[in-house]
Amino acid sequence: MTHDFAPMLAKIKAGQWALADIDWDAPGAELITDEQRPKLRAFMCDLVWIENIGARGFAAMSVKAPNPELRQIYEYFHAEEQRHANAELALMRRWGMLDHDETPEPNVNVKLAIEWLDRYADQQSLSVLGTVIPMLEVALDGALVKFLLEEVSDPVCHQVFAKINSDESRHLATDFMVLDMLGAGPVRKVLIESIGNTIRPSLLLGLLMYIPLLNKMRDNIVAMGLSENRLYQAVRRYESVGERSANTRKLPLYQLIKQQGRMVIDRGHPYHLVADFMVKATGFIPKRVLGATPSWARELTYEPISA
């Protein structure tokens, strides 16, 4: 696999779009039924914040990129994830789900993820972020959007998500290129680097917030009337794409995330008892303990003028 990121950067530049490209008042909003609205609203709220999690992750990666092309790519991805969040907010507004200046609240598990990123993302190495982010992207960022399209027939929603999906396909291609790059080099070097970078309490904390987040989103998917198997298919992709690269397979953290992915897919595995318990337990965390949402997550706007 090539580690020349220049052609990808060119593709990303050519694929830029803006909220202003979409006619937010075009007909079709009435296709959202009253029955769909409350569940769709909850789903969209979480989706908006998951985009922000992606944005924050890419911001942390851009400073650690080993070459200027990759740095620029991550800067674009940071902006793109924010754009996704803003476009989803604009959709929510179109569907009458938001009051004028309202920013929706994320669920507790998403909030914990935001807190973790705020505190620890910048301390993580590129190899940690570069191994974890692809799983977030296959399982949540990219996949949730696709599930939504099956439920919603508003043509504007389809138009928006066609753009988001093509951004996401470039994110994924880059994510897996970076994984391959991280695993390139002699096994010994990869091992020493990974172990030195991986064994940190903050990473363990990260996994503790990530496990219930995934199960919580599964519950949201089921609440929307979709099969949880759809999520598992998405999780499976991490392994099916990752395994194609001998370099990626050398990464110990990749192997760990892959194993966790396998447990997620196996619905009868005791993992789910633990993860579901964690969803319940985190549900009892009082709001005041979680604190205010960090300022970087407050850059949201549904205004079409935003980039």
Output the CA–CA distances (angstroms, integers) from residue 195 to 83, 133, 253, 260, in the order listed. Answer: 35, 18, 9, 18
Residue 71: burial class (beta carbons within 10 Å; 0-12, 13-18, 19+): middle
Nearest residue (CB) to Fe ion, 57 versus 206: 57
Angle (nearest 5°) at CA 98 between 92 and 100:
120
Q: Which positions from 117 to 156 touch Fe ion by CB under 5 A, shown as an x/- string?
A: --------------------x---x---------------
**Is 171 near Fe ion (CB under 5 A)?**
yes
**Is 115 near Fe ion (CB under 5 A)?**
no
CA distance 66 to 79: 20
The amino acid that residue 249 corresponds to is R
Nearest residue (CB) to Fe ion, 55 versus 224: 55
Distance of closest approach, residue 136 Cβ to Fe ion, in angstroms: 8
Part of the chain binding Fe ion (CB under 5 A), chosen from 10-18, 74-82, 109-117, 191-199: 74-82
Residue linked to tokens 């769909």 = 36
Considering only CA atoms, which of 79, 261, 262, 54 is closest in space to residue 175? 54
Distance of closest approach, residue 133 Cβ to Fe ion, in angstroms: 8
Q: How far is CA 185 from the centre of its chain?
A: 28
Nearest residue (CB) to Fe ion, 86 versus 293: 86
Structure tokens at 84: 């996704």
Part of the chain binding Fe ion (CB under 5 A), chosen from 16-24, 41-49, 166-174, 206-214: 166-174
Nearest residue (CB) to Fe ion, 124 versus 174: 174
Q: Which positions from 26 to 55 touch Fe ion by CB under 5 A, shown as an x/- string?
A: -------------------------x--x-
Residues 183-212 that bind Fe ion (CB under 5 A): none
Output the CA–CA distances (angstroms, integers) from residue 302 to 77, 88, 91, 101, 229, in the order listed. Answer: 19, 8, 8, 9, 32
Residues 75-104 that bind Fe ion (CB under 5 A): 81, 84
Q: Which positions from 226 to 265 touch Fe ion by CB under 5 A, shown as an x/- string?
A: ----------------------------------------
What DSSP state is assigned to residue 138?
I
**Is 56 near Fe ion (CB under 5 A)?**
no
CA distance 238 to 139: 8
Q: Which residues bind Fe ion (CB under 5 A)?
A: 51, 54, 81, 84, 137, 141, 168, 171
